[in-house]
Chains A and B, each alone.
Chain A
Amino acid sequence: KAGVTQTPRYLIKTRGQQVTLSCSPISGHRSVSWYQQTPGQGLQFLFEYFSETQRNKGNFPGRFSGRQFSNSRSEMNVSTLELGDSALYLCASSFAGRNTGELFFGEGSRLTVL
C-alpha cells in the first residue's frame, strides 16, 4: 500500500513569490492535514480537509491556504512568501473516524525562502 506522497520534496523561492505544495494521501483516507515543522517549534497545525471541506484551521495568516480535491488529493498554497516561511511542510492523512486517530505523514516538502 503506497504511503503519503508529497511533491516537490525540495524547493527554493524568493521573498514575495508564491508556492504550491501537493499531497496524495493513502488510498481510502479522506482526511488530509498539513503541518509546518521548524526547529524548536515542533509541528504546528495549518489546516485539515475532509471531503473537500476545510474542517479545522490553525493560527496561521491568510497567506496560507489549501484545498482538497474529490480524489482526496490536497494542495496547500503560500502567497507572498516571507523568510520565516522557510520550513518543512508535512502532509498527513488519516481515516475520518475519531476512533482511529493515527496520522500517516509524508516525508515533507522542504521550502527555503531567500
Chain B
Amino acid sequence: QQQVKQSPQSLIVQKGGISIINCAYENTAFDYFPWYQQFPGKGPALLIAIRPDVSEKKEGRFTISFNKSAKQFSLHIMDSQPGDSATYFCAARGTGNQFYFGTGTSLTVIP
C-alpha cells in the first residue's frame, strides 16, 4: 500500500513555464514533508521541506503548498529551466525516522 501517492508520473514543461507535482497522504501522524530531487546516477538530494503547521514555503523558484485538511501537498517550480530536468520525489516522515516516498515524477524541461 502506497502511503504517499504522487502524480503525474512524468511531466514535460517549456523553459520558463511552471512545473507542478502533487502528492497526497493518508496518515495524519506524518510530521515532516520533504521533496527530493534526483539526477541520473546520483542519490536523491533534499530540495525543500515543510512541516504541517505551515501552509506554504518558498525557496527561490521552488514552493511547497500544503493543505492539511485535504492531506495534500504540492511542489511548484517557477520559471522552469532545463537544469531542473530530473526526477522529483515527495516524502512524508512517520514514526521513528521512517520516510514514505512517492513513486516519483520525471520532469523534462524543453529549451
Contact = CB atoms under 8 A, between A and B. Distances in A.
Nearest to A33: B97
A107 interface: yes
Interface in A24-39: 31, 33, 35
Contacts, number: 61
Contact of B41 (A31, A90, A102, A107): A107
Interface string A51-80: 000011010000000000000000000000
Interface residues on B, range: 20 to 34
A55 B95 CA distance: 10
B99 A45 contact: yes
Nearest to A96: B97
Interface residues of A, number: 27
Contacts of A55: 96-97
A31 B97 contact: yes
A4 B99 CA distance: 18
Given A31-B97, A56-B97, 14 more contacts: A42-B89, A42-B103, A43-B89, A43-B99, A43-B101, A45-B100, A48-B97, A55-B96, A56-B98, A98-B31, A101-B34, A103-B46, A105-B44, A107-B41
